[in-house]
Chains A and B, each alone.
Chain A
Amino acid sequence: MKYFIVLAFLSVLCSCHKQDAHVKTGGMEISFVNNAGSQKITLGNTQYINSSGETFTIGTLKYYISNIVITKTTGEKYIVPQDSCYFLIDESNASSLKPRLNIPQGNYSSLSFMVGVDSLRNTKDLSQRTGVLDPTNTAADMYWTWNSGYIFFKVEGNSAASLQTDKSYRFHIGLFGGYSSGTINNTRIVSINLSQKGNAIISSGKTSHININADILKIFNGTHVISIANSSVIMATANSADVADNYATLFSHASTINE
């Protein structure tokens, strides 16, 4: 019984302590604008042309952004805590396109993030897979049940070049390196230098808006040329790594607006 009283006291003490160690923070909003070249994409029937000259539409576009790290001009890094660093960017859901973070005050000149979900989170207990990572809910269509793991990047649509009978193309890219025996790892880290187009100045009570462009056309030629005629469906296969190399090249810094 005594232990319980001690424990109770300790937990009260702890909760007080947290409030003391208060660091001033401000808001940071990373806004993802999905483009085809210089044009903002529209889901549905709009036709785009890839580097192989194939016309295609985009019906679904979703990807995970995680493990965000920002670095001050002094070189000091801030690693966004695990409980608030997983975001599902879903073109069909406007509010998902602008992840908001709370971070310590300062002048930040670079940003990096992972496209995908790291192996640690991919193997976490079910109870810690909440929100955008809940495979029974929001993540249901971004999760492979047969090869337990998240789909990091999903783009689907139609193309006359497709060899599928329904003229669809589907790229579902996942694989985090394997749980017990290794497989390919399609997580990719993207680093973005903010200093050219504007550092993010974070101060308490204010929000810094970082605008990131994602050029979806580069999915077809960022590093490797991928044509829909050759690969209409790319999922858990070896060539998924080519798509991953390509999605690592989508992102560029457009501007920063410091409120």
Chain B
Amino acid sequence: MKKYIVISSVLIFMIAFACRKDQTSHFNSFTTPSYFPATSYHFETNQITEGGFYLGKKLFYDSLLSIDNSTSCGTCHIPTSAFTHHGHDLSHGLNGTLTKRNSPAIMNLAWSNSFMWDGGIHDLDLQPISPITNPIEMGETMDHVVAKLKQQPNYKNLFLKAFGTEEITGDKLLKALSQFMLMCVSNNAKYDSVKRGQTQFTPTEQAGYNIFLQKCNACHNEPLFTDNSFRNTGLKPSILNDSGRYKITLNDRDMFTFKVPSLRNITYTAPYMHDGRFYSLDAALEHYNSQVMNMPNIDPIFRRETIPGIRLSADEKNKLIAFLKTLDDRSFVTNPMLGENYSPR
């Protein structure tokens, strides 16, 4: 008897699966572009489904996740700005209070092995607890958010579609948010078309690319444009005196080091650096040319020249900027599937 129950339930499962496949026409599942490295995220414990992705998206744009229902993840991570807080050096949170850092892009996170500017969070699933419970970001408790969601008529059904149960729990909420964020893959910039052999760089872009490979790629490693390492780029500490990764490891060698940010969608993600101190790309590049502060642990790469830094002439900067603009991915920042108003059929 037992055997038949098992067999028939397996059958039902398979049929259910087969049916679901037909419905996913609007939802493009996660794929790794051929020229990208292997992903870091643990998909084996959180497989992306259309239901999970859609629930995650709903949560991402829902200000119910904040104490006064004023702020959603999308408030500081705006899709049209590659999920950064456009125009804000330090992101604004509840009642206009400032966070301590510039909000980074939510982009290609499946390839990240640590999160935040200091890498303090090692698992994407655990990341949202930080903004949700931070008093100046969303000021909530996970418990209370779950309680609020339980009172919303639509969420039961969304959790059911995502996880096969109406039960709303903190860990499911977090897994769903991960599913949405993992789907934010940017790989349709001009650079990508060139990689795929569909188009070519202009001569200026090509010249910029060559300079980039020589002077920047050691840290902003293509095709993700980050090597996920932490480096001290000689940015003069501001009055916030943010010690960066030192706070996490308590090792002196990590003093003022920050995660190498990806340079994809760079035009959309201004202002720049962990505290958003530079409002233009030109200013960011000029930093490398003339403003690297000589601290004991600045990255050895900057010591290749007598005066620490990376010399860039005006011409080189222009060429670099021309190349960096080929990393802008319009289809990513305007992707309706990732925007607030998309919903499945």
Contacts and interface: CB of A to CB of B under 8 A. Distances in A.
6 contacts: A11-B6, A127-B175, A135-B170, A136-B169, A148-B123, A181-B254
Contact of A136 (B120, B121, B143): B143
Contacts of B249: 178, 181-183
Given A127-B171, A140-B142, A147 B251 contact: no
Chain A interface size, under 10 / 10 to 19 / 20 to 34 / 35 or more: 20 to 34
A148 B278 CA distance: 29
Contacts of A134: 170-171
Given A8-B3, A126-B174, A179-B122, A136 B113 contact: no
A213 B249 CA distance: 33
B143 A145 contact: no
Contacts of A123: 122-123
Contacts of B169: 136
A126 B46 CA distance: 10
A143 B170 CA distance: 14
A237 B146 CA distance: 33
B129 A145 contact: yes
Those 10 A-B pairs whose CB atoms lie nearest each other, nearest first:
A136-B170, A136-B142, A8-B6, A145-B130, A179-B122, A147-B120, A183-B249, A126-B125, A125-B45, A145-B129
Nearest to A4: B10
Interface of A: 4-5, 8-9, 11-12, 123, 125-127, 129, 134-137, 140, 143, 145-148, 175, 178-184, 236-238
Interface of B: 2-3, 6-7, 10, 42, 45, 113-114, 116, 119-123, 125-126, 129-130, 133-134, 141-143, 146, 169-171, 173-175, 247-251, 254
Label chain B's interface by main secondary structure. helix
Contact of A146 (B45, B116, B171): B116
Nearest to B116: A146
Nearest to B114: A180
A126 B143 CA distance: 16
Among the interface residues B2, B6, B141, which one has the most CB atoms of the partner chain A within 10 A? B6
A30 to B, nearest CB: 28
Contacts of B121: 145-148
Given A5-B7, A135-B129, A145-B133, A179 B116 contact: no
A157 to B, nearest CB: 22
A145 B116 CA distance: 11
Contact of B3 (A9, A127, A180, A183): A9
Contacts of A238: 250
B102 to A, nearest CB: 16
A148 B143 contact: no
Contacts of B125: 125-126
A68 to B, nearest CB: 25
B45 A136 contact: no
Nearest to A146: B120
Given A123-B122, A134-B171, 19 more contacts: A4-B10, A8-B3, A125-B123, A126-B123, A127-B45, A135-B126, A135-B129, A135-B170, A136-B129, A136-B146, A137-B170, A145-B121, A145-B129, A148-B121, A148-B122, A180-B122, A182-B251, A183-B250, A236-B250
A245 B256 CA distance: 29
B162 to A, nearest CB: 14
A27 to B, nearest CB: 30
A125 B122 CA distance: 11
Contacts of B119: 180
Given A137-B170, A147-B120, A183-B251, A126 B3 contact: no
Contacts of B247: 147, 236
B120 A148 contact: yes
